[in-house]
A = this chain, B = another copy of it.
Amino acid sequence: MTRVLIVDDEPQILRAMRINLRARGYEVVVADTGAGALSAAASAVPDIVILDLGLPDMDGVEVIHGLRGWTRVPIVILSGRAESRDKVGALDAGADDYITKPFGIDELLARLRAVARRGGEQGASPIVRFGRVTVDLAAHRVTRAWPAADGTDGPLGADGRVSPGSGAGGDVGDVGDGAAGEERVDEVHLTKTEWGLLRVLVSHPGKLVTQRQLLTEVWGARYETETHYLRTYLNRLRQKLEDDPARPRHLLTEPGMGYRFQP
């Protein structure tokens, strides 16, 4: 879900936009000062920032500079001033679009889609690595490197049996050629549910995620009590991703509370 930070000092505008954007499926975070905007952008890490230029504590261009110092998040300016000088200043400071009030909500939404579209395509795709596993959240792709030292280990267990859920039509195939001393990199095929679970966990690196949160985000609110799903699927993920599934090092259990992804 796209997360939008709205920065405006007029409560009624803030409220109207929050309602509108939430109704369109955006996740909304708000701030009503420039300083609040900068700290909210750092903590909430929004996908888009909507910034009103007429803030009480800071000049709008200063806010843009403050953001651009460390992030390339798309910034859409809302302003009552339609003068060319203001637009040029804001755009050259690093804003991506400039809309003058009054504006239509449809136009705002279309412009948000436009900047989000561009913003989403570029930039380092969010890649998470742990152990020998690489998770590409944008491409929905998981790869796992296997040591080639002994040459025989790999997706096939020591007993030669195909481990359940790996191989068997799911894997695309080896990328490496298996030559001695080289690493083999295999695609790890995850089902929709497995992927959803892994996504939630790696999105909160190092943090404890409660069972309830996992169940609602992956299965839906009605599954809040089906904790055995978590056990089954954590087991599957560990089988596919952990070097020693019986002694997980990255997908950890916090008994009585939930699970934790340890990078």
Contacts and interface: CB of A to CB of B under 8 A. Distances in A.
A201 to B, nearest CB: 13
Contacts of A160: none
A107 to B, nearest CB: 5
Nearest to A112: B91
A243 interface: no
A132 interface: no
Contacts of A12: none
Given A122-B121, A172-B262, A113 B87 contact: no
A114 interface: yes
A78 to B, nearest CB: 15
Interface in A110-158: 110-111, 113-114, 117-119, 121-122, 138-141
Interface in A171-230: 172, 191-192, 195, 206-208
A24 to B, nearest CB: 13
Contacts of A117: 94
A94 B110 CA distance: 10
B207 A140 contact: yes
B97 A139 contact: no
Contact of A256 (B91, B138, B191): B191
A91 B111 contact: yes
B114 A95 contact: yes
A104 interface: yes
A252 interface: yes
A141 B84 contact: no
Contacts of A111: 87, 91, 98
A59 interface: no
A255 interface: yes
B72 A91 contact: no
A92 interface: yes
Contacts of A195: 257
Contacts of A244: none
Nearest to A257: B192
15 contacts: A88-B109, A91-B113, A92-B113, A94-B117, A96-B114, A96-B118, A97-B97, A98-B111, A118-B122, A140-B208, A140-B254, A141-B206, A141-B208, A192-B257, A195-B257
Given A140-B254, A191-B256, 8 more contacts: A72-B121, A87-B107, A87-B111, A88-B109, A91-B113, A91-B114, A118-B118, A118-B122
